[in-house]
Amino acid sequence: MATNKPAIIEYIFRKLWDPATGKLNQTVVTMAEVQEAIRALPNLKASDRNPANFFKDFIRSKHRNAHFPPFILQSGYTARQAIGKGPGACFEFVPLASGVNTAFGALAPSAQLLAKPHPVESVSMPLAARLLGRGDESWLAQVVARLNILATHFALKRGSNTVQFDLLQIAVKLGKAEVDALFLMTVDDGSIQRKIFVPAEMKGRRDEIEVEQIARATNAVLAMVKAGECTVIPVAVKVVGHSLLYIVEFQECNRNVDDANPLAVASEAVYLICPAVPGIE
């Protein structure tokens, strides 16, 4: 299905595209329209049974830029999930930002970070726990929590004002968003101690970090408590090699993330788990 999706996306775009005006007749694509497009292209032999995951799976693939239809890109558009765009919405076409020539941005560690990863020990992890090692997000979240990798990251990046870092829950469903792991960090600002929620998105080696997904999780956590009573520092944790993790910390947020108030990267680091932990491949 993944290799058929670019053709289906392009078919939908061309159907909505008005060459006379150089504009789309509509930008939001519904799940029903995705199913109609799949049925209209029987030679692709694609299934129309799960339109809800049609674009979500595509946008999280590391090959998304390579597979995104050139015609759409040349027309000045990219696409993103249409969360909150109405009932049945699947994805939407959006204009490319000025000067951008790729459909999707990618967060990846620099050669310098990969060359000198910060070591973190795994000797403290019970041998019995290692037997459960596998390649899913839940296991990655368990490893990060057990080995205090995010606590290490914030201690290194924020210094002595980080006084405590606690895991609240793994796999937290918050409305239309899901947080792979939710932490609570206590920081000492001198006169007061503040609580900061840290939602962490976990990504395996095959999946890309999707900033829009992290933005939705950030907004969901902000909505979970009364306005002004907390701030949020979202993070992403991605496997980039054998027991090698890439962590992206975004800037602290105290209001909803949107086009006018986008997420911004605050720090990045790469950590090497020593000795290697099964499943982190």
Is there a single domain that holds both residue 39 and residue 156?
no
Strands (E) across 155-230 are located at: 162-174, 177-188, 193-203
Domain count, the chain: 2
Query: Among 95, 124, 140, which residue terminates a domain?
Result: 95
Q: What percent of the chain has pLDDT over 70?
A: 98
Does 58 lie in the same domain as 161? Answer: no
**Does some domain include residue 101?**
no
| Residue-number span of the structural domain to which 177 is assigned | 111-274
Residue 131 three-state SS: coil
Same domain, 33 and 120: no
Please check whether residues 155 and 265 belong to one and the same domain: yes
d(CA 231, CA 90): 30
Query: Do residues 149 and 253 both lie within one domain?
Result: yes
Averaged pLDDT of the chain: 91
Give the highest mean pLDDT range of 59-68, 69-78, 205-214.
69-78
Pair 123, 81 in one domain: no
Is pLDDT above 70 for 2? no
Mean pLDDT for 138-161 is: 93
Whether 256 and 139 map to the same domain: the answer is yes
- 106, 64 Cβ separation under 8 angstroms: no
HSE-CB at 48 with a 13 A cutoff on CA atoms is: 15
155 shares a domain with 117: yes
Residue 212 is predicted with a pLDDT of 86
Q: Are residues 75 and 115 in the same domain?
A: no
pTM: 0.81
pLDDT of residue 84: 75
Inside any domain, residue 280: no
Length of the chain: 281
Q: In the chain, where do the E strands start and end? A: 17-18, 23-24, 28-30, 77-81, 89-95, 118-121, 162-174, 177-188, 193-203, 231-232, 235-241, 244-250, 265-274
241 and 160 co-located in one domain: yes
Chain position carrying tokens 């968003």: 177
Answer for the pair 266, 251: CB distance below 8 angstroms, yes or no: yes
Q: How far apart are CA 186 and CA 205, in angstroms?
A: 31
Same domain assignment for residues 88 and 116: no
**Are residues 208 and 261 both part of a single domain?**
yes
| Residue 153: pLDDT band with limits 50, 70, 90 | very high
Distance (Å, whole) CA 49 – CA 12 = 18
pLDDT beyond 90 at 7: yes
pLDDT at res. 31: 95
Region of 94 please: left (phi>0), alpha (psi -120 to 50) or beta.
beta
